[in-house]
């Protein structure tokens, strides 16, 4: 991450918007490739959250910067652009690899929004960035649960049938 983008609100917002577009595209393409209806629903929900995040960031730009957003950077804050070739997803070896890449992207977004919030003086703007960081962290947790379920490591509380809620 380049620290210079955190000193300029317009650059911060353009980078974030670019990454939300990448996230939308990634989840949209994955949803179109998926066969499992539940996976499609989850991917579409993640995709729709990315679109909502983009709208939030666009509104922040209009409110705090004004004017046209202009050209977005060629690279966003996440590793997702590396997954695209000619408007399509690269073929990875497994669903786990797609999930791992998405998890890395969500972690990068959390870090970016938290760092950005720390660089912003306006409390309303900062609160929005912190809220986006929390949502991206929620995405990470959803993806982690999916990865565990796919890999067969999913347990509800524990495998011995006892629940920590009973203590």
DSSP one-letter string for 89-122: EPPPS-HHHHHHHHHHHHHHHHHHHHHHHHH---
Please write the tens of the pLDDT for every residue from 59-99.
Answer: 999 998 998 999 999 888 878 877 777 777 788 778 888 89
pLDDT at 55: 97
pLDDT at 164: 42
* Residue 110 pLDDT level (bands cut at 50, 70, 90): very high
DSSP assigned state of 78? S
Quick check: 33 pLDDT over 60?
yes
Q: Of all residues in the chain, what percent are helix, strand and coil, respectively (each to 5)? A: 70, 0, 25
The CATH number, out of the four listed (3.30.470.30, 1.20.1260.10, 1.10.3720.10, 3.40.710.10), of the domain defined by the range 3-149: 1.20.1260.10
Neighbours of 129 (CB within 10 A): 26
The burial of 136, by beta-carbon neighbours within 10 Å (0-12 exposed, 13-18 middle, 19 or more buried), is given as buried
Reading the block at residue 32, the tokens are 């179109």
Quick check: 1 pLDDT over 50?
no
Question: pLDDT averaged over the chain?
Answer: 85
Quick check: 156 pLDDT over 80?
no
Reading the block at residue 66, the tokens are 């004004």
- Report the percent of the chain where pLDDT is more than 70: 87
Residue 101 near residue 83, CB atoms below 8 Å: yes
């Amino acid at each position: 991450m380049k620290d210079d983008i955190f000193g300029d609100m317009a650059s911060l917002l353009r980078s974030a918007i670019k990454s939300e577009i990448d996230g939308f595209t990634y989840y949209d393409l994955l949803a179109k490739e998926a066969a499992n209806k539940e996976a499609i629903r989850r991917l579409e929900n993640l995709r729709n959250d990315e679109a909502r995040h983009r709208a939030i960031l666009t509104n922040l730009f209009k409110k705090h910067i004004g004017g046209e957003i202009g050209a977005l950077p060629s690279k966003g804050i996440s590793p997702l652009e590396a997954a695209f070739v000619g408007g399509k997803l690269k073929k990875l070896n497994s669903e786990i690899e797609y999930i791992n890449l998405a998890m890395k992207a969500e972690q990068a977004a959390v870090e970016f929004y938290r760092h950005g919030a720390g660089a912003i003086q306006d409390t309303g703007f900062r609160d929005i960035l912190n809220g986006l960081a929390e949502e991206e962290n929620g995405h990470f947790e959803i993806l982690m649960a999916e990865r565990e379920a796919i890999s067969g490591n999913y347990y509800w509380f524990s495998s011995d049938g006892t629940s920590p809620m009973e203590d």
